[in-house]
Amino acid sequence: MTEKQTALLQQISESDSALSVSSESSMTTWALKTRGLIKTDGYGSSEVAVITADGRYYLKHGRHPRQEQEERQRLQQDPEQAALAPSGGSELIARLGDGDGTVTVPDPGPQTRARWRNAYYDALHHCHIPAGRKLRFTGRQSGDCTFTLVDEEAERTAQPASLPVIEVPDSLDRPHPLVRATQKVLGRAKDIIDTRGRAKVIPLHITRPNAERALRIMHALLTEAESRGYAVDSHTDLADGEAVHRLAVIIGGTAFSLTLTERTSKVPHEPTPKELRTRARSPWIRIPKYDYELNGRLSLDAHTFGTRWPASSSHADGARWTLESRLGRFLRDLEDGAKEIEHRQQEQTRRETEALRQWYAVIVQARRRQIDTARDDALTGQLQRWRRAAEIRAFTEAVRDRRGETVSAAEQDWLRWAEEHASAIDPLSAPLLAPRDPPADRFTFRELVRGDLYAHPWPFDDEGNWVLPEDEPTDQTPRSGPDQG
């Protein structure tokens, strides 16, 4: 239990009558009640509490009586559980081999724990452990006993490779070009050096005594980065109409901006005479309570730019290490970040490619439906005209075949025109040709496809031909048909 819960329980036990519980202690009261240490009555501001026998037992012994019962039960079952423990190391190894290589005994009693512990030492000292394996044991004195048979080779393989040490030189005999350029810019600055925002130099914000050390660190880091095949250069961008200068390390297409600064400490502010005079004239003006002073601890920071996926790393002098000893970790962080960004870019490219493929597949299907509909309409029209022509010819023949009647000159003219009209509308009077395909522009496709038709390049030209062969589906893509004669 927490100190607050114990204090409230003690307060309730010392009360001669039911103690009124404040609303601020409602959660503490609820915790004691659920453990059976107190009983309550009422609600809200009228809630009162009294201690139970379990509560008095807890205050006297520091343990809940239920824990005592569980402990007694555990000890009662100890001889029975001890008889189930392995008799020696060979049996322990056999049990580990029958399972997944791990055996756990939940909080055993003293006899059971001793039997398992003896089996462990027997396996350890009498060569029962298979070659290339290691037996691990936790819980020798308390808690759960866990035995694990470990494959040493697999464990070594799974361990991360050791970090190469980046040596920082004691002096700069042949400094990196960017270090040399920064040395020239520093000049005779006495107190604070701030080269952030300047082109073709290393961004620094440090005190003068740390300048030589900072340049040696950056020389070691930049030289190591270039030896691994990474590009190091001063990078300039335009943001909001102003030039932004960065020192960039480019790893696999991912650019990291580097900055070396000195950390600050918060110290009490000593009001200056000017601040005191201003405060005397204007009492509402606040004087700062603290100042932030550079404390000599260097910090190396990196963050990505020019990519949609952020990654960063920061290492600094600590109480037990120096920044020099962290350069290997720092560069590994950049490499891991570049790999992660490359993986995300590949995954994003894969998703975009798949989305583009599906989008063009929808367009192709819509185009086929459009052509099929147009050709079906044309075929339906041909059938209608063919049937109409046949009906007209049947009608004219019926008129001429009337018995007992002669066809007048006027009727002959009418029938002759009807037969000519039937020949004109009959599609079989000329070679049959497929109709011209309908237009394949975005405006026409508005009724065929839902969504943004301007999301990707349009795959058809003005004549309806597919113009993106690299994205064309594997099956046959519709092409324009010839004009109908």
Q: 3-63 maps to which CATH number?
A: 1.10.10
- Residue 234 confidence (pLDDT) above 60: yes
CB atoms within 10 A of CB 460: 23
- Residue 238 confidence (pLDDT) above 70: yes
For residue range 122-173, list pLDDT tens digits in order. Answer: 998 988 888 888 999 999 888 899 999 998 888 777 766 677 889 999 999 9
- Residue 357 confidence (pLDDT) above 80: yes
CB 145 within 8 Å of CB 118: no
* Helix (H) or strand (E) segment spanning residue 236: strand 231-239
What pLDDT is attached to residue 483? 40
Domain edges within the chain: 3-63, 79-158, 177-317, 351-448
Handedness of CA 247, 249, 254, 258 (dihedral sign): negative
CA–CA dist 384, 111 (Å, integer) = 100
For residue range 2-55, list pLDDT tens digits in order. Answer: 888 888 888 888 888 888 888 778 888 888 888 888 888 887 777 888 989 888
- Residue 345 confidence (pLDDT) above 60: yes
Taking residues 457-478, report their average pLDDT: 71
CB atoms within 10 A of CB 367: 23
* Helix (H) or strand (E) segment spanning residue 103: strand 102-105
The pTM (predicted TM-score) of the whole model is: 0.58
CB 129 within 8 Å of CB 147: no
DSSP, res 462: T
Taking residues 379-393, report their average pLDDT: 95
Nearest-5° Cα angle at 381, 378 to 382 = 90
| Residue 421 CA, distance from chain mean position | 74
CA–CA dist 472, 479 (Å, integer) = 12
